[in-house]
Amino acid sequence: MPEIILKNVTKKFGKFVAVDHLDLRIESNAFITLLGPSGCGKTTTLRMIAGLETPTEGTISIGDRVVFDADRGINLPPNKRDVGFLFQNYALWPHMTVYQNIAFGLENLKWDKQRIGNRVRELLEMLHIESFEKRYPSELSGGQQQRVAIARTLAPGPKVLFMDEPLSNLDAKLRMDMRTELKRLHRDTDSTFVYVTHDQLEAMTLSTRVCIMETGVLQQYAPPLEMYSDPANLFVAGFMGSPTMNFIDGRLHADGTVSFGHLAASFKGPDGFVPEEKDIILGIRPEYIHIGPDGELPATVYSTLPSGMETTVRLEADSLALTAVVFDDVDYPVDSKVLYSFRKAAILFDKASGKNFARGSLDRPHAV
Amino acid sequence: MDQAKPAKSRALRVLGQIRSWLSQPSNIILLFFLIALTVLTLYPLLSMLTETFTIHTGREARAARLTAGTLSMYHFERLFATAENDYSWIQFYQPLLNTLLVSIAASLIAIFFGGTVAFLVTRTDLKYKKFVSGVFTFPYIMPAWTLALFWETFFKNVHIGLKTSNGIMASVFGVYMPEWFVYGAFPIALVLGLHYAPFAYILIGGILRNMDANLEEAATILKTSRGRVIWKITLPIVKPAMLSTLLLVFASSMSAYSVPVFLGSPVRFYVLSTKMKSLMDSYPGQAYIIVGVMILFGVSILLLNQKVTNSRKQFTTVTGKSGQISKIRLRKANRPIAVLLVILLLLFAVVPLITFAMESVIIKAGDYSLKNMTLDFWIGTHLEERLDQGDSTGILLNPKVWNALGFSLALAVTCALVAGTCGILVGYGVARKRGTRLAGWVNSLSFFPYLMPSLAFGAIYLAMSSRIPWLRGFLLLSLVGSVKYLPFASRSGVNAMLQLSGEIEEAAVITGVPWWKRMLRVLFPIQKSSFLSGYLLPLVSCMRELSLFVLLVPTSNTILTTMLMQYSEKGWAQFGNAINLLIILVVLLINYLVNKLTGASIDKGVGG
């Protein structure tokens, strides 16, 4: 299964730089997500790899073939790249039946009728849409249309499958179902998936690696859990995870203590970490703020969002406003007093650059 | 060596860019149309401009005392600044004033009438709505002169105009209408206004129908009275459409030719278009100046219109969630209004047809008894033995008529095919490359012929054809028709393509479907009805076209519409009426057939 390599790829629309000097290596068999807010260049990147958009600069290769090279004037058309593309609004041809939609691409590959029929039936079965063979797209629900679109894309057996926010038009429950199926499909089809989404949860749950972008610039490219626990900068930290990470203004001192709000604590960094005096932003995931009778610091409950499985609690502690998550079906009365403590990891971001420069833990914060 | 290397790679790079640019069909299409449309619109325009400075052979050379072919400002001085015998006043300023007067009056009539009906149909519980909205577009489908000819036939009498014969009003009811009522500014403005009222109806009604009812409901919830809602919410939203209608009808009326010919010429009431036509034979230089003036007017008005509709708040007319608008209840007024409207519609949509049929079968004008009727003018032979003027056979047995009908049909079909297909291609290119400068240019160029009055457009092609010997006859007519009707087709093409998301085509690109197959198998079938209306509009317009071709046809017998003009000028009323009826029936038939076969309908396009 092919590996995809992007080198120094830039795309400009007039003066606007959509993608800025992007280097990316997508291993074979990977499930990669391009993640970022709208307008960050993720869809443009996907379309450039597929050949639907022409880059301004750089080279792109799929497997051992160079499919685009600005300097050598190479630009393979999309159909020669042996890829599949699943569109956000499915792009099913409304005047063709489900069968015709799936078969149309195969007819172009000059397959014989028998073989086309077999392949279409195989896909219909695989995606559980056998009974809709003769229907038109408008006669199907969103989820069924989605399956037809997937079947159509998979029909020629592409080695690489591109997906542009394919689940964003589905309702929450269907989206959940389709996620599991996509992940299974990735395994069954044994191909490389490149997936665009702005939903960090989708990126977290589906992919083997996440490529997070902002304003055309790659921010971090790492496996999802690594990205979650050790985000490269403030943007990534804020984008990954819901509820969002707590960001607290503070200061790191040369003796290794961190002061923030009315609190201070000594920071235990990684091996070889040398503290220096500077302004920082302290990042703490909500689940690392523990609420309970064994807590060490007092706070007031500002509001709560219980969802059954977990409860998000907004706390006020002197000048600090903190978000905590409690994994239980509990609720706290508003304005009640609780005890809390910081657990496990905390990250120090450089306030000036926003970069993550140390990941460690806080030791017994106390009021000063 | 070191220097050669980057140069070579740069060349490779540029070559690659060009190759990948050309590998996209949309780019090739846009490039082709950029060149073709530049040649087909700017070249004739330049030829026309040159003509205004050139002294032509014949009367012009003699009057100017210059050798033919000299370049001079003579025509401008003569037309604009000759006080002698009021020459400039009679030849230019008076017709200009008449044109402005008639056009303004016509646009106000059209807006008032069309807008009122649009409001009644979309916003009230009016009775017979189906009938009203069905019949209301009739006058727009029929040729513009239909109503004019009807007006003349109905009201003329022996005391006025050419003083030839009495019309129905005089002979049947004994009422002799005054001249100002039958000929001149009043009937021209009224007839043009009525002809373009459906246009106002389509534009304003379209907005009213698609307007999100939530907008009005929101006001109603806030305890706004019904009247205030109309005044403060509905009208302001419709205002851009009204302004647009005003400008478009003004521009169309200004360039109208057939109506002022029928209702103005008999009393020497001239507007710019008729004046231009009458100057063309003897003083082409001055005629071309008038063409220039008409184009200037037309272009500036329509540019103003685009500015109005684009830059001002062009309110989005996206259909909202609530389709159920609470209709105003007319209560007791309902039936009287509905009946009045139906009578009015019958009067200007159905009665003319009956009148033409009647007038084509009576032998002696003014006598409507059965004794005085004959089908000779349709199917008679050896007529010269019984009549002192006219053809020797009825029109259905006359090979000249059949030839003209065949020529008209061939021309209409050719123009429709060329314009319609080009319109789709332009639409494809523009929609795919939206936002690029090339697409913008092609889009504007393809709309440019719309800005030019038909008669003037015919005139500039006349000027061009005088320089190109092989551009004659059918070729010239179909070329001018195709270019002139391209805007209709390209508008519907662009709209249809913009409605299709690019992904629909990309899904086929990915699987390697070649371009022509994507067009035929994917894009065309999806937007079939919009594309077909891009073919239908040129087809119907071409069948009833007079002003565009009148300067260009080799002889008056060439196409049906000019033949009608010829007969009517000769005073062969019965033959003329029969041919007129034939044209109207053919147009209605084509419209009906296309509508039935394809579901495409005339009111889907821009109209004009």
pLDDT at residue A91 is higher than 90: no
CA distance B590 to B596: 10
Q: What one-character DSSP code corresponds to residue A352? A: T
pLDDT at residue B309 is higher than 70: no
Question: What pLDDT band is residue B314 in, cutting at 50, 70 and 90?
Answer: very low
CA A45 to centroid of chain Cα atoms: 14
Question: What pLDDT band is residue A1 in, cutting at 50, 70 and 90?
Answer: low
Instruction: Tell if the CB–CB gap between A87 and B20 is shorter than 8 Å.
Output: no
Burial class (CB in 10 A: 0-12, 13-18, 19+), B330: middle
CB-CB neighbours of B416 under 10 Å: 27
Residue at A2: amino acid letter: P
Please give the pLDDT value at position B352. Answer: 87
Of A69, A75, A85, the CB nearest to B506: A85
Q: Which residues of A touch B (CB under 8 A)?
A: 50, 52, 54, 69-75, 77-80, 83-85, 87-89, 91-95, 104-105, 108-109, 152-153, 156
* CB contact burial B486-499 (16+ within 10 A = b; e otherwise): bbbbbbbbbbbbee
Length of chain B: 608
CA distance A137 to B216: 34
HEC string for B99-163: HHHHHHHHHHHHHHHHHHHHHHHHHECCCCHHHHHHHHCHHHHCCCHHHHHHHHHHHCCCCCCCC
pLDDT at residue B389 is higher than 60: yes
Instruction: Tell if the CB–CB gap between A73 and B15 is shorter than 8 Å.
Output: yes
Of A78, A84, A153, the CB nearest to B509: A78
Please, are residues B475 and B553 in contact by the beta-carbon 8 Å criterion? no
Token pair, residue B605, equals: 């396009």
Contacts of B15 in chain A (CB under 8 A): 73
CA distance A59 to A70: 6
Mean pLDDT of chain B, nearest integer: 83
Distances (CA, A) of B523 to A180, B23, B377, B518, B531: 34, 19, 49, 6, 10
Of A70, A89, A108, the CB nearest to B512: A108
pLDDT at residue B320 is higher than 60: no
Q: What are A280-307's pLDDT values in tens digits?
A: 999 999 999 999 999 889 999 999 999 9
Instruction: Tell if the CB–CB gap between B513 and A80 is shorter than 8 Å.
Output: no
Mean pLDDT across B508-527? 88
Instruction: Tell if the CB–CB gap between B509 and A93 is shorter than 8 Å.
Output: no
* CB contact burial B176-212 (16+ within 10 A = b; e otherwise): bbeeeebbbbebbbbbbbbbbbbbbbbbbbbbbeebb
Mean pLDDT across A169-178? 86
Q: Phi-psi bin for A318: left (phi > 0), alpha (psi -120 to 50), beta?
A: left
Contacts of B514 in chain A (CB under 8 A): 108
CA distance A357 to A276: 11
CA distance B394 to B375: 8
Instruction: Tell if the CB–CB gap between A91 and B506 is shorter than 8 Å.
Output: yes
CA distance A52 to A84: 12
Question: Measured between CA atoms, how close is A202 to chain B, in angstroms?
Answer: 23
Residue at B185: amino acid letter: A
Please give the pLDDT value at position B105. Answer: 95
Lowest mean pLDDT among A109-118, B59-68, B514-523: B59-68
* CB contact burial A216-238 (16+ within 10 A = b; e otherwise): bebbbbbebeebbeebbbbbbbe
Contacts of B9 in chain A (CB under 8 A): 71-72
Contacts of A89 in chain B (CB under 8 A): 501, 503
Of A85, A95, A152, the CB nearest to B525: A95
Please, are residues A143 and A127 in contact by the beta-carbon 8 Å criterion? no
Instruction: Tell if the CB–CB gap between A70 and B16 is shorter than 8 Å.
Output: yes
Please give the pLDDT value at position A121. Answer: 94
Question: What pLDDT band is residue B168 in, cutting at 50, 70 and 90?
Answer: confident
Q: What ipTM score was computed for the predicted complex, to two decimals?
A: 0.74
Question: What pLDDT band is residue A324 in, cutting at 50, 70 and 90?
Answer: very high
pLDDT at residue B152 is higher than 60: yes
Please give the pLDDT value at position B272. Answer: 92
Please give the pLDDT value at position B497. Answer: 87
Of A52, A54, A105, the CB nearest to B506: A52
Residue at B487: amino acid letter: P
CA distance B546 to B569: 14
Please, are residues A331 and A306 in contact by the beta-carbon 8 Å criterion? yes
Please give the pLDDT value at position B529. Answer: 77
Coil, strand, or helix at residue A4?
strand
Question: Measured between CA atoms, how close is B511 to chain A, in angstroms?
Answer: 5
Question: What pLDDT band is residue B500 in, cutting at 50, 70 and 90?
Answer: confident
Ordered alpha helix ranges (H), B380-472? 399-432, 437-451, 454-465
Contacts of B527 in chain A (CB under 8 A): none
Which stretch of DSSP H or E encloses residue A304? strand A297-306
Please give the pLDDT value at position B428. Answer: 93
Please give the pLDDT value at position A58. Answer: 93
Q: What are B574-603's pLDDT values in tens digits?
A: 888 888 889 888 888 887 887 777 665 554
Question: What pLDDT band is residue B1 in, cutting at 50, 70 and 90?
Answer: very low
Instruction: Tell if the CB–CB gap between A105 and B511 is shorter than 8 Å.
Output: yes
Instruction: Tell if the CB–CB gap between A78 and B525 is shorter than 8 Å.
Output: no
Question: What pLDDT band is residue B325 in, cutting at 50, 70 and 90?
Answer: low
Q: Which residues of B touch A (CB under 8 A)?
A: 9, 12-17, 19-20, 23, 501, 503-504, 506-514, 517, 521-522, 525-526
Q: What are B451-489's pLDDT values in tens digits?
A: 788 888 898 898 888 888 888 889 999 999 999 999 888
Among candidate residues B354, B452, B409, B374, the one with its CA nearest the CA of residue B146: B354
Q: What are A10-35's pLDDT values in tens digits?
A: 999 888 999 999 999 999 999 999 99
Please give the pLDDT value at position A355. Answer: 94
Please give the pLDDT value at position B310. Answer: 62
Q: Phi-psi bin for B521: left (phi > 0), alpha (psi -120 to 50), beta?
A: alpha
Which DSSP string do the residues of B211-262 spell out, in sequence order?
Answer: S-HHHHHHHHHTT--HHHHIIIIIHHHHHHHHHHHHHHHHHHHHH--HHHHH
Question: Measured between CA atoms, how close is B6 to chain A, in angstroms?
Answer: 10
Please give the pLDDT value at position B188. Answer: 95
Q: What are B213-267's pLDDT values in tens digits?
A: 667 777 777 777 777 877 777 777 778 778 878 888 888 888 888 899 989 988 8
Among candidate residues A96, A106, A174, the one with its CA nearest the CA of residue A139: A96
Q: What are A135-154's pLDDT values in tens digits?
A: 999 899 888 999 999 999 98
Please give the pLDDT value at position B454. Answer: 86
Question: Measured between CA atoms, how close is A138 to chain B, in angstroms?
Answer: 13
pLDDT at residue A208 is higher than 90: yes
For residue A214, the cross-strand partners are: A217
Q: ω before B352 within 30° of 0 (cis)?
A: no
Please give the pLDDT value at position B213. Answer: 66
Question: What pLDDT band is residue B3 in, cutting at 50, 70 and 90?
Answer: low
CA distance B278 to A234: 79
Please give the pLDDT value at position B591. Answer: 79
The structure's pTM equals: 0.78
What domains can be seen in chain B, in order of their start residue?
90-373 (1.10.3720.10)
Instruction: Tell if the CB–CB gap between B508 and A105 is shorter than 8 Å.
Output: yes
Burial class (CB in 10 A: 0-12, 13-18, 19+), B531: buried
The chain B residue lying nearest A152, using CA atoms, is B507
Question: Measured between CA atoms, how close is B155 to chain A, in angstroms?
Answer: 54
Mean pLDDT across B412-436? 92
Contacts of B20 in chain A (CB under 8 A): 54, 73, 75
What domains can be seen in chain A, in order of their start residue?
4-236 (3.40.50.300), 243-367 (no CATH)
Please give the pLDDT value at position A350. Answer: 95
For residue A211, the cross-strand partners are: A34, A221
Please give the pLDDT value at position B321. Answer: 39
Q: What are B359-374's pLDDT values in tens digits?
A: 888 887 777 777 888 8
Q: What are B175-216's pLDDT values in tens digits?
A: 888 889 999 999 999 999 998 888 888 878 877 777 766 677
pLDDT at residue B571 is higher than 80: no
End-to-end CA gap in chain A: 59
